Structures are given as structure tokens and as C-alpha cells.
Structure 1
Amino acid sequence: MDYQKKTSTERGNDTMPAALLHQKLMLPTSIKRLGELAYNLWFSWNAEASALFQRLDSRKWEDSGHNPVQLLLTSADALQQASVDPGFLEAYEQVISQFDAYMHESTWFQTEHAKQSHIQFAYFSAEFGFHESLPIYSGGLGVLAGDHCKSASDLGVPLTGVGLLYKKGYFTQKINSQGDQQAEQFQYDFSMLPILPAYQENNQELIVHVELPTGPVALKVWRIRVGRNSVYLLDADIESNTPADRQLTAQLYGGNQDMRISQEMILGMGGVKALRALGISPSVYHMNEGHAAFLTLERLRELLDLGLPFQAAVETIRSATVFTTHTPVAAGHDAFPIGMAEYYLGPLLSKLPAYRQDLLGLGNDPKTGLFNMTHLALHTSSLRNGVSKLHGQVSRDMFKGFYGDIQSREVPIDSITNGVHLDTWLAPEWKALFDRFLPGGWRNRIADARIWESLELIPDASIWQVHQELKEKLIGFARQNLEQQRRRIGESEERAAEVRSFLSKDALTIGFARRFATYKRANLIFNDLERLKKLLHDPERPVQILFAGKAHPADHPGQEMIREIYRVSQLPEFQGKIVMLENYDMNMARYLVQGVDVWLNNPRRPLEASGTSGQKAAMNGVINFSVLDGWWEEGYNGDNGWAIGSTESQDWAVQEQENTADIYRILESSIIPLYFSSQEQPQHHPRHPWINLMKRSIQSLAPIYNTHRMVAEYTERSYLPTADRAHHFVENGYDLAIKVADYKNFIRREWHHVKIAAVHDPSADSSAAVSSISAVEKLSTLKEVTADVFFGPIWPPDTLVELIYFEESGSDWNEVVVWMQATGDLKNQTQSFKASIPSHLKHGPNFSIRVRPISSSFAHSFELPLSVSTLQE
């Protein structure tokens, strides 16, 4: 389906909301398209659109959490005044023109992939962080999903999102006088949010059903407009459901494991049913983390109902599925007791009794005996990736056993490094400055490094002015947050007013804001309070630190970190210099990543899969100061920020000592001196050292760590190849899927016959002669090694015979794999193979032979994890 053309169902979805909007909002004719803007999250990354809503009533705009729908529904008088205000009407027409141009202009996908205009991609995620006015996210995973969808719209990638609509969102965080996090629930009124029901062709609200053990659960489908694309969210809070079932989509990451598995069934199975009801037939399904993996079981049911053999159905599902894993932390991989999985999947298993064990086996983790959602995702996807290069490596190590006896580097898990949506996170002040100096159309070419070379043209004074303006905005926001907090917990008027003197625009300002999990070590900088006090109290070079973040309500160690930070912030020697802000959300995040000088990140390596807060900070000229983990390991170049180093010990205590020492050392010897020496430069100095660093940071990081680059990578490396392969698997009555399934079944059944019968190493008996050869001669002198392999009933061309050895490279040893060539004829089911390798290598201690199955229809070389090796003998 062309992404600008719609099925009849989707056309129906367009007409009903238009009438509904007119009836609901009753806008004056001259500004009637404000409703269209309010119900398209395009406003959230267009500064002019947001400013237009703010212009109606700035107080209500702030009080509503920047929610344009609530603003329009409660501002009748302001709307009437605006409808005859020439200034407002002029701004309105300009924004509408921008919106229309955006919606109809040619896009990257249209230009680069015109022949794929019929393709649709589905993106399933348990949370989406689009904007503070739609609080259905908890942190990085959701914000990444939101940024992914926004860039897909910008690039014209035909992507449809699927998720859950949480009436209570995540939670509102309040911090009491003891520093305790208090998680408060708030039930949102969906009629006041920028969402609308999805409709069927008969203009009835769309309802789908998911079978749970207690009976069918009805799910209302809601639609969010995200620029050119849509995201559909499922809601169980409807009258036809039982009171217990109505709570299933009440809260993000709330409740026990029963709640979690129910939510994940609703997301995966209900999401597929919603797409079917909408007439959307994706070519590719992208599972953003294992939460969505039940979608594969619903698609399997569809194919099995058609009569497709089980393994052929699995191959069909796998051919069209992409999976992104997001964490190396075991707790981030949902796993359920097998009995619980059997119970909740009972309605599905009862319909497919012949495949009961096969279906459960797709999620089985043999090490734990649990039904693991990541294992289900790995079993049912063809392409898998981590979210940074380091995380890809860590994931290959984690799931090495999943793929048999192979080296970690051979494990078929790739990596696509996360990015952030520039238009969402770059301050409007920076955009205005870049509009003056960067080439025209730069916002559509942000992944082009050449665009950012023009930063050199921007005067240092202009850069510093923008940065200082944003810093002052942050300080004002932080003071307001602290004052409201003190008033709420009953502090005296004097204590509440005291915060108005906290923080200084002249101090070096460090920011730390993210989810409070223990491995992120928010309190690491507190390991030496005396040393920290000296840093913060230097009258010539003052320093201040802002903290923000939520801990999961069940994460008591994470909450203890919040208490510690709050306690330290209340000590007389740290008051006003260390602050803990409450209720971290996307709005606060923008102030922080745009307004601090340095962004601190110090997780235990390698537990930070990627991290994106530092990327948001970097594009705003904020300098990263981080452990070499996640994205920073590849982003840091030695000249664009600072790296907190260590010996990379896996002993957490040792790593903590080394990281702590490095934090203080770099602050004292590098960061603080550079920041303040910059301010001490005479006015005529040609270069501001700190501003130079800001420019280098933006130039090296902005063109890479953005979601335009990321989504383009997903499109070209994952989505399009997967769509092409999936098409071949289903054409001609699933012919290829059946053949691949039959081939794999045959290989599994007959593989035990394969044996390496003999290895002929001509120099194995001449060790004395070989040992006298110099190192240079050893590398340049080659010998021919042969191997005889018995295949039994397996056809030799369906295998690959490899010779493997290791080559020294500095302090490391790199694996070298040489493909052996068949020689002579097949005799008695035995084939000979040959390869040339350095003559000093001996079979056994220095090299081995490996045989494994291959097929041109495989998505990757190790799709069938079987092998025979001389190392196994």
C-alpha cells in the first residue's frame, strides 16, 4: 500500500474524525484547522505550531502540560478573540502553510525507494514517548519509540505504530521532606488528549478482542496522528469488560507478572488483530523489545488456520519479522514460569492442540525452564539487532548459546545505534541560529556531515549567547520546580522563597537525568563528599549539579539513590549547588539537555545498551562526560568531550573505584579549568576554547546520533531486505517457506551422519623444521591442507567447510576463517576439500576444520545452528 494512498478502511477513518472534530471543538471558521493541528503530534516538534497554541492562552498552555486539545476545549473566549486578531490569523496561516507543505512535500523514501511505495512497516512497542501531553511512556525505550515514529514521518517511511493506551500513564513523582519518592497515579481523560478513536468502514468505533483464560477481552482502538503516519493504541477500559479486565491497560509497567503477560498478549495479539481490522497488511513487523513478541503467535495462528505446516508457518513469520533488543540487564528480558505461559496461552493452545509443545518451545529458555519473551522474539525473527555497537557485541555474548557452537562475533545479532529526533530535542533558539548560518534545507539533511561544517561560520559570541539564554531558562525552571516542591511539603514561606537564589548562570552546570536504576549509579559522584565540596565551593570557579529521574515503584535500591541525593542536597554545604528536581518528564528533559554545560553519565560498563540523553544534550552544544559505554564508546573521538575510563574490570567494586577517581581527576584537571579559562580569555581572543569544544561536539555527533540516520538504517538494512525476502516466502502458495522448512527438517534429521573423516596437514610431522623459520617467513610461506568429509545423505553443496585459525594482532588474537574448496569427485558419500594457510600452523593446536549447513534462502549465515568441528573430537 502506498503510504500516501489509503485502503477504504483508512479513508473511513479520515472522514469520521473530521466531522467529530468539528462537532467536538466548535472552532470559529477562520481558525477551524486548529483542531487538525491539535490532533496531529506534528505540533510537538514544530516550534511555530506550539507557539501558536501558547499564543491563545499562555497560562492555560502551561497548566495543561502543553496539551493543545485541552487548551482548545477550555478556551472559547480566547478562540473568539483570536479568530479576529490579524496578528494571530497571520501566524495561523503561516503554520497551516508549513503543515500542508510538510504533509505533501516529496520525502526521502519517495525519492530513494520509489519502487517500494506499496510497502507498509508495523512497529510494535509497549510504550511511546511522543510528548508530555500524552503521558504513556516511562523513559528511554518509549522516547526512542516516539522519536523513531517522528523520523519515519519526516522521511516518508510508511510505518504504522502499535501500542497500548494507559489511562493512568506511568506515575507522577513527588519527593517528600525525607527524600522519599512518592508515586501518585492520575487517571487521564482521553477526551482531553490528542487522540481519537479509530473507526471501521461503517463509521463505528473499532473494537477487537483478545482471548485470555478468563474469557475474551474487548479492546477499543485509538489513533494518534504522528505527522504523515499513524500509531494505534489498544484500550481495555470499556464498559463491556469486567472490572478486572478494564484495569489491564490502566498503568504502564504496573502490577505483577499476571498483569505483565496479559498486557503483552494484548499488545502483540490484539495489535495484529487491530491491523487486520483496519485493513493494514504490513510487509514487515518490527518488535521494539521482547514485550511485543506475542504478535508472532497470533500470526502463526492465522497461517496454521490456513493449513500451512507448522515449520513452514514459522519460516513465513520469521521472514517478515525484525527484532530490536534493548538491554544487557537480565531483568529487562521478561520471562514467565512455563505453567503461567501455558495458562495464559491456553485459549490459543486449545485451538491448536497438535502444536502445543511446538508453540511453547518457541519461548522456552532451556537454561532456566522459563518462557522467555526474548527467546520467543529470537526464534521468530530473521534480523536482530542491539542498539549500539558495544551492545551488539554484548548481545552476541549473551545469546551465543542460542546459536550453537560458534564464536561470539559470528552470532547473527547486528547493531543499529540509537539516535534522537533533532526537531524534538534541539532548542528553538539553536534552530533559529542554524537557520542563519547553515545551508538552506539543513533540517532535511541533518545526517549529512558536510552540513555541520558551516558551524565554523557562526560567531562564538552568538553561540555563547544562545547557550546562556538556555541556561537561564533552565535555572528559572529548576527554581520553580524546587519552590513548588517546598510549598507542597509544607515548608515555610522563607524556605520556599530561599530557592530563588539557588543556582547561578555563571557556575559550571552539570546535569544528570535518567531512570534511577542502580547500574546507572546516579550517586557515584558522592563517593568523596569532601572533595566534591571543594569543587563546588571554589569562589573563582563555582560548580553546580542538577539531578532528575524516576525509579520504578518496585525498585527500592533505585529509590534509595533518590533519597541519598536529596539528603546531600539538603546539607548546608551543598544547598543551592546540588538540586534534585521532581517529576522528570519530557518537558523537564528539554530544559536540562538544552541548558546545562556538561552531561554526566556513569553507568556500570557494559550495562548501558545505548543511552540517548547524551545525544540530546550534544546537539544542543552540551558536552558529554561519560563512561565509555553504549553510544558514547563509538561517539567519543578524544576531541569532543570526556571519557570516564577504567580497566574495564568486571568486578563492580573495582570499576566503581576507578570510575570515581577518573570523574574527580577529569573535573579538576580538565573540565573546570577549560570552562573558566574560556571566560578569562580577553575579548579580542580569536577562539573561545569551550565554544570550540561545543562546535566540535555538535559537528561530530549531530549528523550521526539522530533518528533520521537511524530510521534510514533500519529501512535499508532491515525493513526493505526483510520485505523482499518475506515476499518471496509467501508467493506461489508459500512455496519457498515450505521448501526452507523441509530443508531445515531434513538437515536436522540427517546431520548426525556428517563426520570429518580425515585432515591432512603436510607439516604436522616436521615441527623442528618449521620452528626454525623466522616469523616473517612463517606468514609468507603457505601450505595446502586437505580434509575429507563424510556427508551421508546430505548434499555437500548444502554445507560450508571452513578452516579456522587465529592470527596475532597487537595484543589481541583475531579469528581467521578460510573457506575450503571442494576437490575431486564425491566418493562413497565422502568429499575432499582444500585450503592454503601459513605453513607454521598445525592441526589441533593451531587450526581446526568446521562443517555447517548453508542455504541461499537463509537470512544469515548461521540461521541453522548446527556444525561439526575437529575441536569437538
Structure 2
Amino acid sequence: MAARDPVCGMLVDPATTAYSVEARGETYHFSSELCRDTFIRGEKIAYFSMEIGIESEIPTYSGGLGVLAGDVIRSSADLLIPMVAVTLINRKGYVRQRLTPEGDQIDSADEWDPKEHMRELSRRVTVRIGDANVAIRAWLYDYWSPVGGLVPVFFLDTDLPENAPEDRGITDHLYGGDQEYRLKQAIVLGIGGARMLAALDIRVGKYHINESHSSLLTLELLRHPGMDEEKVQMQCIFTTHTPVAVAFETFPRDTAIRLLSAEIPPTLLDEYIGEDGLALATLAFRLSKYVNGVTTAHMNFSQQLFPGFHIRAVTNGVHPHTWTSGSFRDLYDRYIAGWAQEPELLVRVDAIPHEEIRHAHRQAKQALVDYVREKNGVDLDPEALTIGFARRAAAYKRATLLFSDLDKLREAGRRGAIQLVFAGKAHPADAVGKQEIREVHDALRDLDGEVTGVYLENYTMDIAGLMTAGVDIWLNTPLPPFEASGTSGMKAALNGVINFSVLDGWWIEGWIEGTTGWAIGPGPGAPVSEEERRRQELQDLYSKLEYLIIPTYYLRKDAWVTIMRSSIAKIAYYFNTHRMMRRYATEAYL
């Protein structure tokens, strides 16, 4: 049985190849001595992220940040970028959501067994947190690209018998606990993660800090002999995903000093922890040479927040093959050979006949209809205009904006049937987010009999795949400028689903009115009051739905498919992680 060379991606015969190596509890096979030696001694990009969404069954993600990290890993493997990834095991996940008929979210731990998905490594490292030595082990998940190479993902775990009970739980909950708990997680991820890579003899050329949770790795690097601030900066890349100052967490100085003083020399603590406390984002900005936001608009906002730093823009993307439904994969395979590895080829989608695009979408829509019937007992009409909205339930996402005027929504529905499919979890401590979910349920009950709607429980990557392929319109209504990027609409575009979105994040770059979709309200920099912004948003939301979207869907079917095709050709070809990782490789990694 053939194996794949993890360095060059070539198929090799394990029985005949002269080049193999035992490493981390696995045997790897190579096509040449050079590939084997590169695997053993070659420098790697170390990608650190608090959350990584690699499978629905591994609930170590909460939303876009983690799913993006998973797509980074997938594209890096496809493109043979020499990367390893580091995250926390999050044994109890983010939250398992159960919804009552009234829309109340019932929280429980989303527990899972690492042994069913990855293998435990024998190596241990220790970090001193306060007055306790905390042992850390790693679980290894090898992500193999079907067409390229390998990216190992190391999941750090403190649930070891030698640790105190409170320290065994440090890696249990994603974004759980109080500030002290979250700082302990940052120590394990940043300092412990850097030590684990060193203990595993992995040579790191660059450290990519995906959001600031892991930025303490910079202080760990500064402790190494011969290192100084400039040398650390040259090794570190920082991608910020946060668009507003209040979202950057600062840990109290006394807490930071107490937890870090046993590991970090006093001179470094005094230099990098201010009187107002430890800001992990500021630490990452100061000790990274390459810093980027995740869209052009986000770069501009970040530059205003941190005017002393040079900030670039690398717009996010999604992994093409993962987020393209089976029916559209088959369609692209027939007409656009090589699209998955070179998604820019999707610009040629005009070669695909309208009827074949319709057929592929009908198949994806039927899969969603079947899922809704099975899980919610609701019969959606596969011929009716279906609008999808799914993301973390947070106030700024404004899941309820569509329901601001139910009479206008009913009026639009009389021009043509509308169906609504919602999904999303609220953080267990987010009372406002939970209230948003209740209000969506209230609105759907009020609309019953006039507008069909469902709220899908326990949103996962698998449900995201069904929704972004199976609806007709992807709705996004964040409050600008809080959406640094967003990626769900990019997934939708891969499947010909049309975006209807507030002009924030990536949509500012992808939007061509009436060609790739429709905008809601003014741009984030428009000189209007918040009251006027909301008035314009509601005007666009209801008038475009009633007078543009519904008539086009029901009466101008060829025009509708033309927009679907334009969405693929002008969005999916560009807003993907293959393009994104090539940018990082040429600008930041080399």
C-alpha cells in the first residue's frame, strides 16, 4: 500500500523505499534522503493558536478563529509549507448546546476522548506557574493532505496525575474560567508550547502567533542565550483578529507577576508588563516584526489602535476543498481541472452551464432540507428562497436585526415564500448572546404560518458545511467595525450561495452590488450617526429583500444563476486560504 512523503508529497512504497524514520510514535516514509533529512532537521513554521477546528468531532474551536486555524493547516499541507501547529487540548470543549422550545440555551461540557483521534507522546515539559510546577504532555494529530504533505498538530494537556487538581484542569475549557485561569492557559500555550517543540527536537524558523493568546512565547524566546528583542522580532509573526480596543484583554499586574515571576526574569517582567497590567496583544505587537490584520479595513482600524506599529493586511480565506459541497466538487472536477489546488482557476466558472449549477445547488439544498427534517422535524420547501444565518451568538453579530420589523418581513414574504435557517452558540457566560437566541425563537414563533424558520442546535463545522452550501442567501448583519473579517460568506460563495451582508470585514473587498450579492447599509467609515446607520440598514434589508432578491430568485432564474456564478468567479477564486498562505509564505515566512 502506497504512503505519502510528508515533505514533498510524492507517493512511495513503504516496502521498497530506502528512506524511513521512526518519529513521535509513527513511521514516516520518504522518496529521497533529502526529504528524510529535511523532515528530521529542517526548520518549521510553528503556528500557535488557542483554538483549532480540525474536525467537528474534536470540539477545540468556538467559531471563526479556530475554523480559520484549521483551514490554515489544511492549505499549508496542500501547499507543502513546512508547518507544525500548537494548541490546547480543551478536553471539555467550548460548550455543548441544547435548546429548549423557547430558545433557552442549556450549557454542558462538550467532552471528548483524545485517544479516539490522536496519539499521546511520551515527552513531558514543565512550566512553573506561581508556586506550582505544572507538567505538560502533548497529543499528536497528523493532518495529511490528500494531495500534498503533512502538518503535525500538537494538543497540549495538563491533565496529569503529578499536577495539582486545579492545574490538571488548565487545559479543560476553551475560553472558560476567570482571568487567572485564562492567564494560566496562555502560559501553558505560549511558554509550554515553545518548550514542547524544543523537547521534541523540532527546529523552528518562525513562530506565527495567531491572535495574542500565545504571545508569552516571545518572553520564552527572550530567555534563550544570545537572544535579544530584535532577534525575537525577526522570528515572530503576529496576526491580530480583534477590531476594537475593549476586546484586548489586560491581566492585572500583580496577577501576572505572581504567575510569571518563577519563569521570566524580573528585568523582562518590568520591561513588558506595564503598571496597568499585562496586555498580550501589546506584547505580540512589540515582539513581532511582521504584524497583520485580516482584511484591509481591519488593518486600518488596527493602525488607529496601535499607531506606533507597521501593520499589513492579509485578508482571510477558507480552505477550498473542505468547504465545497460534494455536488459542487464534482461539478468543478468536470469543468475546472485542478481547481482544489489552484482555486484561482474558479474564475473560469463561466464555462459551466446554468442548468448544471442549478442542479449542483439543488443537491446541496436537499441535503440541508433532509438534515432539518431529521433534527428539527420541520419540512422545508426545497423550491423556496432559503436564507441562512449562522455564527457565534454575540451581541455585535445582531442575529435579530432581520426581525426588527416583522410586518415588513411578512410583506416581503408575500411576494415569494421565505425560509430562515439559523444556528449558533452563545458563550456560557454571555447572557446577551443567549438572549439573542431567545429573541430569534420568539420571532420565528410570531412568523409561524407566514415565514418558515428553524434554529439548529449545537452548531458545528459539519452543520456549517451543510448551511453554507444549502441555503440560497447568506445573511450577515454585524455592527461595524466589529467584524474584523468573517469567513462564513466565503464558504457560501464556494457553493454559489449569494451574500447579503453589512459592509464590514471581508465583504467590503468582495462586494460588487448586484454582481456578487447585495450590501446592507453604508460602509463602516461613512459619516453617519448610529441612528442613521440603523435606518439605512433596515431600509436596505427589507427593500432589497422584497424588490430585488425575491423577484430575481422567483422570476429571473437565469439572472439568479448568473449572480451565483459571479459569486464563485469573483469571490471563491480569491478568498481562500491557498492564496492567503502563499502571501504569508512569501512575505512573512521566508
TM over 0.5: yes
In the alignment, which residue of structure 2 is the partner of 1:806? none
Is the 8 Å Cα contact of residues 54 and 70 (structure 2) preserved in structure 1? Answer: yes
**Cα distance in 2, alignment partners of residues 453 and 654 from structure 1:** 37
1:592–1:555: structure 2 CA closer, same or farther, 3 Å change rule? same
3-state DSSP of counterpart to 1:347: coil
Is the 8 Å Cα contact of residues 323 and 383 (structure 1) preserved in structure 2? Answer: yes
3-state DSSP of counterpart to 2:155: strand
Matched, 1:361 2:266: no
Match of 1:642 among 509, 515, 518: 518
What is the correspondence of 1:754-765 to structure 2 with a 5 Å cutoff? none
Amino acid at match of 1:235: D
Amino acid at match of 1:711: M
Amino acid at match of 2:118: I
Match of 1:300 among 206, 218, 222: 222
What is the correspondence of 1:474-623 to structure 2 with a 5 Å cutoff? 474-483=368-377, 499=378, 501=379, 503-536=380-413, 538=414, 541-571=416-446, 573=448, 577-623=452-498
Matched, 1:169 2:93: yes
In the alignment, which residue of structure 2 is the partner of 1:662? 540
Amino acid at match of 2:520: I
**Cα distance in 1, alignment partners of residues 138 and 349 from structure 2:** 46
| Deviation of 1:186 (Å) | 3.5
| Deviation of 1:579 (Å) | 1.4
In the alignment, which residue of structure 2 is the partner of 1:209? 126
In the alignment, which residue of structure 2 is the partner of 1:711? 581
The worse-fitting range, judged by mean Cα deviation, of 412-421 and 646-655 is 646-655
Matched, 1:445 2:368: no
Is the 8 Å Cα contact of residues 600 and 625 (structure 1) preserved in structure 2? Answer: yes
Q: Which has the higher helix share?
A: 1
Count of residue correspondences: 561
Match of 1:318 among 233, 237, 245: 233
What is the correspondence of 1:161-200 to structure 2 with a 5 Å cutoff? 161-192=85-116, 194-198=117-121
Matched, 1:387 2:294: yes
Is the 8 Å Cα contact of residues 365 and 469 (structure 2) preserved in structure 1? Answer: yes
In the alignment, which residue of structure 2 is the partner of 1:674? 552
Is the 8 Å Cα contact of residues 131 and 262 (structure 2) preserved in structure 1? Answer: no
**Cα distance in 2, alignment partners of residues 661 and 219 from structure 1:** 54
Is the 8 Å Cα contact of residues 253 and 273 (structure 2) preserved in structure 1? Answer: no
In the alignment, which residue of structure 2 is the partner of 1:4? 7
**Cα distance in 2, alignment partners of residues 610 and 453 from structure 1:** 22
Runs ≥4 residues deviating over 6 A: none
Amino acid at match of 2:119: L
| Deviation of 1:693 (Å) | 0.8
What is the correspondence of 1:207-246 to structure 2 with a 5 Å cutoff? 207-227=124-144, 228-246=150-168
3-state DSSP of counterpart to 1:571: helix
Is the 8 Å Cα contact of residues 569 and 575 (structure 1) preserved in structure 2? Answer: no
In the alignment, which residue of structure 2 is the partner of 1:778? none
3-state DSSP of counterpart to 2:23: helix
**Cα distance in 2, alignment partners of residues 633 and 623 from structure 1:** 15
Q: In angstroms, what is the RMSD of aligned CA positions?
A: 2.2
| Deviation of 1:564 (Å) | 0.2
Amino acid at match of 1:359: L
Amino acid at match of 2:340: R
**Cα distance in 2, alignment partners of residues 604 and 461 from structure 1:** 37
Bigger relative contact order, structure 1 or 2 (CA pairs below 8 A, ≥6 apart): 2
Deviations 1:113-164 (A, max 9, x none): x9xx943211000010011021111110000000001100000000110111
**Cα distance in 1, alignment partners of residues 295 and 519 from structure 2:** 17
What is the correspondence of 1:677-688 to structure 2 with a 5 Å cutoff? 677-679=555-557, 688=558
Unaligned runs of 5+ in 1: 19-35, 37-99, 199-204, 404-410, 484-498, 680-687, 721-873
3-state DSSP of counterpart to 1:396: helix
Is the 8 Å Cα contact of residues 127 and 263 (structure 2) preserved in structure 1? Answer: no
In the alignment, which residue of structure 2 is the partner of 1:256? 178
3-state DSSP of counterpart to 1:600: strand
**Cα distance in 1, alignment partners of residues 479 and 416 from structure 2:** 29
Is the 8 Å Cα contact of residues 126 and 292 (structure 1) preserved in structure 2? Answer: yes
Identity among equivalent positions (%) equals 39
Is the 8 Å Cα contact of residues 292 and 314 (structure 2) preserved in structure 1? Answer: yes
3-state DSSP of counterpart to 2:492: helix
1:473–1:104: structure 2 CA closer, same or farther, 3 Å change rule? farther
**Cα distance in 2, alignment partners of residues 522 and 119 from structure 1:** 44
**Cα distance in 1, alignment partners of residues 134 and 257 from structure 2:** 18
Amino acid at match of 2:311: I
Matched, 1:372 2:279: yes
Matched, 1:431 2:296: no
Deviations 1:684-713 (A, max 9, x none): xxxx11111111110011111000000000
Match of 1:153 among 66, 72, 77: 77
In the alignment, which residue of structure 2 is the partner of 1:830? none
Deviations 1:386-420 (A, max 9, x none): 000110011001112xx1xxxxxxx5101100000
Amino acid at match of 1:558: G
What is the correspondence of 1:37-76 to structure 2 with a 5 Å cutoff? none
Deviations 1:65-106 (A, max 9, x none): xxxxxxxxxxxxxxxxxxxxxxxxxxxxxxxxxxx9xx979x
Matched, 1:290 2:212: yes
Amino acid at match of 1:13: A
**Cα distance in 2, alignment partners of residues 606 and 177 from structure 1:** 33
In the alignment, which residue of structure 2 is the partner of 1:472? 366
1:426–1:360: structure 2 CA closer, same or farther, 3 Å change rule? farther
1:551–1:172: structure 2 CA closer, same or farther, 3 Å change rule? same
**Cα distance in 2, alignment partners of residues 474 and 376 from structure 1:** 44
Unaligned runs of 5+ in 2: 9-19, 145-149
**Cα distance in 2, alignment partners of residues 291 and 701 from structure 1:** 30
1:118–1:251: structure 2 CA closer, same or farther, 3 Å change rule? same
In the alignment, which residue of structure 2 is the partner of 1:814? none
Is the 8 Å Cα contact of residues 417 and 451 (structure 2) preserved in structure 1? Answer: no
Is the 8 Å Cα contact of residues 95 and 427 (structure 2) preserved in structure 1? Answer: no
Is the 8 Å Cα contact of residues 3 and 120 (structure 1) preserved in structure 2? Answer: no
What is the correspondence of 1:838-849 to structure 2 with a 5 Å cutoff? none
Matched, 1:396 2:293: no
3-state DSSP of counterpart to 1:177: coil
Is the 8 Å Cα contact of residues 385 and 414 (structure 1) preserved in structure 2? Answer: yes
**Cα distance in 2, alignment partners of residues 597 and 382 from structure 1:** 42
**Cα distance in 2, alignment partners of residues 674 and 559 from structure 1:** 35
3-state DSSP of counterpart to 1:131: coil
Is the 8 Å Cα contact of residues 649 and 655 (structure 1) preserved in structure 2? Answer: no
Deviations 1:506-550 (A, max 9, x none): 1111100001111111100111011112223x2x61111111101
| Deviation of 1:676 (Å) | 0.8
TM-score for the superposition, normalised by structure 1: 0.62
| Deviation of 1:567 (Å) | 1.3
3-state DSSP of counterpart to 1:443: coil
In the alignment, which residue of structure 2 is the partner of 1:13? 23
| Deviation of 1:456 (Å) | 2.0
**Cα distance in 1, alignment partners of residues 125 and 450 from structure 2:** 54
3-state DSSP of counterpart to 1:297: helix
**Cα distance in 1, alignment partners of residues 581 and 347 from structure 2:** 23
Is the 8 Å Cα contact of residues 363 and 373 (structure 1) preserved in structure 2? Answer: no
1:379–1:162: structure 2 CA closer, same or farther, 3 Å change rule? same
**Cα distance in 2, alignment partners of residues 360 and 169 from structure 1:** 35
**Cα distance in 1, alignment partners of residues 31 and 576 from structure 2:** 23
- For the pair shown, the structure with the greater C-alpha radius of gyration is 1
What is the correspondence of 1:402-421 to structure 2 with a 5 Å cutoff? 403=308, 411-421=309-319
Is the 8 Å Cα contact of residues 323 and 491 (structure 2) preserved in structure 1? Answer: yes
